[in-house]
Amino acid sequence: MDMTPDAYLESLFPPDPDLARVNEAIRARGMPEISVAPGYGRLLTMLAAATGAKRALEIGALAGYSGICLARGLPADGRITSLELRPDYAALALANVTAAGYGDRAEMIVGAALESLTRLEEEGRRFDLFFIDADKENYLNYLERSIRLANPGAIIAADNTLLRGRTLNPDKQGPAVLAVREFNRVIATDPRLLSTHLPAYDGLALAMVR
Ligand code: SAM
C-alpha cells in the first residue's frame, strides 16, 4: 500500500522516546491529540538553535510536546516559559519536559494566558522565541502581547492557521475562524514584522519582529 507523504517523511527520522512518551500519556488520559505536528516540532527546535534563543515562551502547553521541542534548541542556560490554562495539563507537561531532561530550564505558569502575559509584561520579562498554540479567538491578542514582550529579532510562530481548511472557506464564519483569518492577515501585513505562512500540516505562521 502507498504511504502518505507525511508518513513517508516521518519514517525517515529515528524513534523519539521522549515525544512518544508524550503521545502515550495523551492517549492514556483521553486528552485531545492536538500537539504540534512532528515536522513543525522539529522546526521549533531548529528555530531555537539557529537563532540562539535563550528565552522561549509558549502559549498552550497541553502535554509538553512543543515544550520539549523548544527546550531542545535552547542552550544550557536557556529557559522555556509555558502558559497553560488547565492545572492538570500543566502538571503533565512539566512532568514530560522534566522526563526529557529539561526540568531545570522549564517554567510553567497556570492560568488564562492573557492574564499571565500581563504579569510577564509587568515584570519586564522579554523573550526571543514565541509559540502561539492556544485558544484561537485570542490569536491576535497573543500576537500583540508577543510583540510587546519580544526582544528585537525575536521569532513568533503560530500553529493551526488553516483550521483544517475552515480559514479559507468563506462559508465558515465562527468566532475562531474569524479570529484566525484576521490574525493571518495582520501577520502577513504588519510593518513591525517580517513574515511568512507555511501551508504544511494545519498551517504555521512565522514572523520575525524587526
Ligand atoms: N503547544 C502544545 C503542543 O504542541 O504540545 C499543544 C497546545 S494545545 C493545541 C492548546 C492548549 O492551550 C491546551 O492545552 C489548552 O488547555 C490551552 N489553552 C486554551 N485556552 C487557553 C488560555 N486561555 N490560556 C492558556 N492556555 C489555554
Residue 89 CA, ligand 1 centroid: distance in Å? 9
Protein residues with CB under 6 Å of any ligand 1 atom: 34-36, 58, 60-62, 65-66, 83-86, 89, 112-113, 133-135
At residue 45, φ and ψ (nearest 5 deg) are -60, -45
| 3-class SS of residue 56 | strand
Which domains are assigned to the chain?
A: 5-209 (3.40.50.150)
At residue 130, φ and ψ (nearest 5 deg) are -125, 140
ipTM over 0.95: yes
Per-residue pLDDT of the chain (210 residues; tens, 9 = 90+): 689 998 999 999 999 999 999 999 999 999 999 999 999 999 999 999 999 999 999 999 999 999 999 999 999 999 999 999 999 999 999 999 999 999 999 999 999 999 999 999 999 999 999 999 999 999 999 999 999 999 999 999 999 999 999 999 999 999 999 999 999 999 999 999 999 999 999 999 999 999
**Cα three-residue angle 39-43-47, rounded to 5 degrees:** 175
Q: Which of 18, 26, 86 to mutate to test the pocket of ligand 1 (most atoms within 8 A of CB)?
A: 86
Residue 169 CA, ligand 1 centroid: distance in Å? 24
Tell me, yes or no, if the pTM score tops 0.80: yes
Could you say which DSSP state residue 4 is in? P
CA distance 208 to 153: 6
